[in-house]
Structure 1
């Protein structure tokens, strides 16, 4: 039985349909014009998706409500939570219409400090204050400057100040991906914004191959540096990449553009956009003939006093809304959400704005069971249901702003993001709806005018998409059916599916059905290892649904590492010199340290988690060779891996946390430093901290204070983005137990080199005064002095899986790429993983992007994971693989789970946890000794994460207690 038709809510509805049809006389069984025919057509369309390996994994929540007849027409997983992508904009924009009204206008104000003389000279500062206008343009700034000129201002002798304090200082949405940041759809947010806080860069080819292409910038500004590394080549093809280093205002264009190619255009972003506005503002003032003091500085401020000079008003919200929804503009949506927070809650934050949305949703009958983290849907931490969306769309029909919303929605086959869809079908011009699309996610929600004139509200939320075409096709199929309703009939020969019965259905169905009813999606597979293929499947539920696996993905990485590298594989770290080792203790030349991805490289302190190569060991070896002084530089070679420091899809707001390490072929202490802390003896004293290793590589600013017990604990450790400045802030109450945080650092090789240099100095090996530490490559003529080796891979994999270490997993993935593909990248490592799993009998129609499971771009099914586990039982490295897994109630990440159950000291499994994600996959023996492999992957919103782990523990404990009678 195929996966989608086994869903509990679906098959119950279809069984009821069977009973209804059975009660109708034979001549009356024509279902033309009935909701049952609609259901049958949609269910058949869904079932067809299970026949194609490119679509089998997607799962949909669908709800259709007849607004005219006031009845539900169809529901499929309508109360399950899904990541909605840009359908979240409907929540935001409806709340905006409800609270602000269609006629709302954003303002931008100009103030002055000091007096304006009779001659038009402002002897004071000019202040531009923003109130969140998302639509402010360069032309608007020009008009404001012209208005000031008309008021008689000819010269400003003070500073140019900009005030963005109407919004909070958080620049990006919760959980947005760092690798999206360079693009305009992920622009930074500020209450003072122009040109949507982005630049439009146009690339035109040179006149002939070999010429440097021409880049133009709109609007022109010196605030952002654009680096042109492009080359013109023959032909019409282009291969252009755009990068912006985190925290920097440098845009790097690289690649090629064909001499016959059309111009290439990209919207790119910048850091701290209020200062970008200030630069454009300064230009416009000058262009208007207003003189500025040559030494006038441009700074940010928070306005406290000043004389109002001018107020600019935006277009009405109803006009801005059209662009927002038809073009699915993320920036407009995020600025609107913060505006709602500022106007209604007195706080211009996404959190406050979401509270306002919640107030509106409550009036619409949606009180709980969803999560909103941003305004646009770019965050994958949003969770909603199709029924919630339809309730909101139904609510709008009774509101005065109904027409304003509907005018803003794309029209099928006509405009906006639906311009090229549904042309020539009954849905053309009859469907108006908001689209939503990002990797693995596609959604469509809005209104359809049925053939009988009835107005229908609908929502189609699809996750787990391997190939996006299939999701759009399903949406379009539903849209055509709605536009044709009720002039439709059930497909010929259609029969509602009945779910398969499995050996453990009676045991596990109640748990799976409880999970379904809670709004989460659970993929479950249980398979016996010692039974024939036809009898091996003991249980399946949503077995092929593609879900985010979290750290269960490490099962793939470690299985491949053991299979391809071997259990005895050791990482090496090489040391070279410009010349052979000296005999007099003084080395005249450069010292090179080359890394090959050893994840265990460490210092001998509390950061050490495994035996292996330490900085102290390296220093001791050099001392044993009699070296006392190095008159040269220390050069670190990390060329074995690429320069991609973070996994694709990792969240920008995780970068201060240990589980989000920066990667490099030469990296120390899992890419982190440790800060130990505890309260001082007395309240009011600074919080004592201890940095490990004791290095000058990071700059720790300690502003934290000890406070009395009972006071709020606001203690925090964060790293300034893209830097090695770590800030310790907040209050730590007396009585708080001593603790520590590990914090990732930038440029792992330089970190390792700096600490090595310091360790050498501490060991009595000095460097000359002009010696430097830098990243480079070992020259061909260098002399290899020695190499240091790690513990065997079996030991490394054991630590990795038992502790679920992200850094180890990512280093292993890049090592696989380097060893087997000659390219130390994650993408090359993934190729090795998929090729290896294929030899183990695992289908590879899943998405793997990193090695640890930290990215939400990963999509895989419970069946895929179970097949990996089963395949490894036939491999020579199975015992090492099995031994690496946490044991229930005993060790690793399962140490405190399933204690006192039959699974304790029995089940061996890998955990996986992200917000809205929980997984557990591994091996267990039944009470009568039968060996089972299982995989449980759960996605969705649950009020408490413990709910998901409780489901897993109940299933595994039930398996361990099972006795085949």
Structure 2
């Protein structure tokens, strides 16, 4: 098995634990919803009217309402489809916790001593603080522990202050959490030893007068975070502030302005390795209690293997904890609770073990399978559940002795928590208790309503594809009022049961989409004649995650706005003209303009174009023998955002998640080639391309005997250029490779160029460095290098679905057309282009490749780009850039032996819970069709989704 099969080894282990196959049959009594019932009519009409608006049409909802008193469903709508639940996932976590731990459960934080305390109160040894996952520990709690240490007679510690967080594993963030969420309190890192929810609260206030720096205070006060204050005081009462923590670092930068009359601004800021933050506060509390530390005392992490218990601190009860967890929708509490479940029930404080424990409880509730849970809070977009499953869980709760504890933790409409300001003055006020959930494109509400007739109604409303969150809340609130009014609902004026539309291909395609294995999917599908009629559509306006089908828009816009012959340039400057004596005084500048093909001449090269060796050879050919200044890399054509918004933190070591910059090399990666050594037990043999000092490779991987499991893993330490190989590679495995992204791509270019120049005989002064800067106006331009034309670049981009190329393309669009090399500016150009081609722009586009799950777009939008491009004079370039079914690219091995082989030109796209295929199909009579199939949701495997797509396309062949 090569590395492509195992590089997500740990992720697949997680998925095997999280994915539960085949939807479970609901245990609750089923009753067909009468189309004419007043409740159904009211909701259906409201939803139908809502989806007619341009800003609302992409919204899609799943709804289930169960009358607990009568033991029957009174309304359902797409209740078996899977949706990202956001914070409704907390219902699963908290119910499982109450079931397994009980409302009276408390967490314990312990203090041990490892050594002897003499008569004078001096501990000759270590003081150990051990965490057991208490999510509620505060600075005051540590103060109580420090006071207890003093009361035990300890006056001085001559050893170290040791921190034990081993009760949980060392995975700090949930699966697929987004890197750009990390600075904020709702995405705090996890540790079994935590305080103040592992964030500090930064309060920013105006300075004394205009022009002064803003005043910043941190609570708790700490030096663990390095603070850079660039915020200025200005006139007025408004604030425009940004609080940023650098990725992978404990450096916080505050920028912007705050008015002299503005109210203080607050932001909760997280940190890396939070146990050490606890250690700093713990040390301060000990000193405040008069417990001295020896001159060589250090704060460090350990795992307790020996020691004598000294004192402990108990948290509030679980019943009390979940009140804050659910009413305020606290992510940190939920994740700590999930890992506690794993530690207490499975002996491992991990996400996987916690999820396994939740699944045990769900099986008791009759939910054996057919859902996915990746975390405890719902912050991960890998979570997928159905409204029916949520109601099934709420029904199970009714017969449990902890029901009151859970229900007491839910927000009450118009009264408290996240529902405090909703449904005020309506029949649902005070009669609805429910868990809310919201994040970009997602909004959910599940819980209980006391109906007008006194019946207890259990409900779940899960909404995805939200362009404007207001409309999702409007739908939820409307349903809530209708439920509180039940059974006295009235059929609204103008209501008529919705008759499903029929199309020319309905008889062919409906049976495919209605297969049982597709029940958990939302399928956005449209098939249309170019310039003609729609042959079929279903949920074609639903805003879905498109994965790499988004590249169709990026590349279509690039071809339209830049032209097929556009080339990317790379410029070379000096502080002075090229010296005739070979000794170049001053700096040499390289300015990048987003060339995605810049490469080294080795196995990393995928296309012709400009190479580092070519640039070095040109400089050598000019007679340059020595450079006295620096190599300055100018990447100012693009912004400094290295990763797309919404990209997952746990993808950062993989080549499909590259770092971005206007000056980048080898698609932002280095290559690690590896193979087994000659003998078992020896280190795996490795080779790094290019031969560069820019990365540090630590090889801890060993060769295993033939037939043993291949466990080799290659990962990069976050925010560094240190790459680690771990695991083992059996003797009978073939050589393979992995490409790994690097940090600061422009410095990578400079380092590689400097190394190539040195190899070519060009020397540098001892103080010469590779730096990031800009070309000064006084610099002399020496030459420029041009890439391949865009038409050739697009051929590689689309055939191979290259994320790096697509992102560089998007930022180039922004830079060239809008004067701003950002993804946001590029997306604006794409939307303008689609509008000019006849499409609508009511969708969210955040990156160029489709890697982020912030993207929300419909099958109709994609089809509009495909159809619009057929009118372009450059259509042939676009068409030929797409993979051809059964022939090449990402469709090489699909649809062979069907009428689609060597016919369909289409773009694939896939990631967990998402699969898409869109493109062109030519009928036997030469008529061209455009189609777009975007599938989101839960299926047993990705093969189910691709199988459905292939069956749809094959059916097009047979139905001509």
| Alignment-derived partner of residue 67 in structure 1 | 68
- Contact 2:388-2:460 within 8 A present in 1 as well: yes
Kindly provide the CA deviation profile for residues 149-169 of structure 1, in whole angstroms up to 9, marking residues without a partner as x. Answer: 111111111101100000000
Structure 1 runs of 4+ aligned residues shifted over 3 Å read: 13-18
Kindly provide the CA deviation profile for residues 281-309 of structure 1, in whole angstroms up to 9, marking residues without a partner as x. Answer: 00000111111113211100011000110
The residue matched to 1:387 in structure 2 has which SS? Answer: helix
1:897 aligns with 2:903: no
Kindly provide the CA deviation profile for residues 506-551 of structure 1, in whole angstroms up to 9, marking residues without a partner as x. Answer: 11111122278521110000001153xxxx1000011100000000
1:741 aligns with 2:738: yes
* Structure 1 range deviating more: 290-299 or 551-560: 290-299
| Alignment-derived partner of residue 677 in structure 2 | 680
| Alignment-derived partner of residue 950 in structure 2 | 953
The residue matched to 2:392 in structure 1 has which SS? Answer: helix
Measured in 2, the distance between the counterparts of 1:96 and 1:77 equals 29
1:117 offset after TM fit, Å? Answer: 1.1
| Alignment-derived partner of residue 338 in structure 2 | 337
1:15 offset after TM fit, Å? Answer: 10
The residue matched to 1:61 in structure 2 has which SS? Answer: strand
| Alignment-derived partner of residue 52 in structure 1 | 53
- Contact 1:197-1:269 within 8 A present in 2 as well: yes
- Pair 732,516 (structure 1): closer, same or farther in 2 beyond 3 Å: closer
- Contact 1:102-1:401 within 8 A present in 2 as well: yes
1:814 aligns with 2:815: no
| Alignment-derived partner of residue 7 in structure 2 | none
| Alignment-derived partner of residue 563 in structure 2 | 566
* Structure 1 range deviating more: 208-217 or 75-84: 208-217
Measured in 1, the distance between the counterparts of 2:642 and 2:72 equals 53
Kindly provide the CA deviation profile for residues 416-471 of structure 1, in whole angstroms up to 9, marking residues without a partner as x. Answer: 00000000000000000000000000000001101111111100000000000010
| Alignment-derived partner of residue 390 in structure 1 | 391
The residue matched to 1:113 in structure 2 has which SS? Answer: strand
| Alignment-derived partner of residue 502 in structure 1 | 503
Measured in 1, the distance between the counterparts of 2:466 and 2:655 equals 30
- Contact 1:840-1:872 within 8 A present in 2 as well: yes
Q: 1:785-804 to 2 correspondence within 5 Å?
A: 785-804=782-801
| Alignment-derived partner of residue 721 in structure 2 | 724
- Contact 2:883-2:905 within 8 A present in 1 as well: yes
| Alignment-derived partner of residue 349 in structure 1 | 350
The residue matched to 1:774 in structure 2 has which SS? Answer: strand
- Contact 2:31-2:72 within 8 A present in 1 as well: no
Structure 2: segments with no counterpart, 5+ residues? 1-29
- Pair 113,14 (structure 1): closer, same or farther in 2 beyond 3 Å: closer
The residue matched to 2:862 in structure 1 has which SS? Answer: helix
The residue matched to 2:723 in structure 1 has which SS? Answer: strand
- Contact 2:131-2:193 within 8 A present in 1 as well: yes
Measured in 1, the distance between the counterparts of 2:717 and 2:459 equals 44
- Contact 2:232-2:257 within 8 A present in 1 as well: yes
1:770 offset after TM fit, Å? Answer: 2.1
TM value normalised by structure 2: 0.96
Q: 1:204-603 to 2 correspondence within 5 Å?
A: 204-514=205-515, 517-531=518-532, 536-603=533-600
- Contact 2:582-2:623 within 8 A present in 1 as well: yes
Measured in 2, the distance between the counterparts of 1:519 and 1:49 equals 23
| Alignment-derived partner of residue 775 in structure 1 | 772
Measured in 1, the distance between the counterparts of 2:479 and 2:831 equals 34
Measured in 1, the distance between the counterparts of 2:700 and 2:723 equals 11
Cα RMSD after superposing both structures: 1.2
- Contact 1:926-1:962 within 8 A present in 2 as well: no
Q: 1:825-836 to 2 correspondence within 5 Å?
A: 825-836=822-833
1:765 offset after TM fit, Å? Answer: 1.5
| Alignment-derived partner of residue 624 in structure 2 | 627
The residue matched to 1:689 in structure 2 has which SS? Answer: strand
* Structure 1 range deviating more: 486-495 or 84-93: 486-495
Measured in 2, the distance between the counterparts of 1:14 and 1:483 equals 20
Measured in 2, the distance between the counterparts of 1:959 and 1:624 equals 59
Kindly provide the CA deviation profile for residues 619-644 of structure 1, in whole angstroms up to 9, marking residues without a partner as x. Answer: 11112212222222111111111100
- Contact 1:171-1:188 within 8 A present in 2 as well: yes
- Contact 1:577-1:592 within 8 A present in 2 as well: yes
1:662 aligns with 2:659: yes
| Alignment-derived partner of residue 76 in structure 1 | 77
- Equivalent residues, number: 931
Measured in 2, the distance between the counterparts of 1:279 and 1:464 equals 44
| Alignment-derived partner of residue 8 in structure 1 | none
- Contact 2:590-2:633 within 8 A present in 1 as well: yes
Q: 1:928 aligns with which of 914, 925, 929?
A: 925
| Alignment-derived partner of residue 160 in structure 1 | 161
TM value normalised by structure 1: 0.96
Kindly provide the CA deviation profile for residues 902-959 of structure 1, in whole angstroms up to 9, marking residues without a partner as x. Answer: 0000000000111100000000012332210000000001111011011111111221
Measured in 2, the distance between the counterparts of 1:14 and 1:551 equals 40
1:131 offset after TM fit, Å? Answer: 0.1
Measured in 1, the distance between the counterparts of 2:459 and 2:436 equals 12
- Contact 1:926-1:961 within 8 A present in 2 as well: no
Measured in 1, the distance between the counterparts of 2:179 and 2:777 equals 36
Measured in 1, the distance between the counterparts of 2:564 and 2:531 equals 25
The residue matched to 2:908 in structure 1 has which SS? Answer: strand
Measured in 2, the distance between the counterparts of 1:585 and 1:217 equals 55
- Pair 590,122 (structure 1): closer, same or farther in 2 beyond 3 Å: same
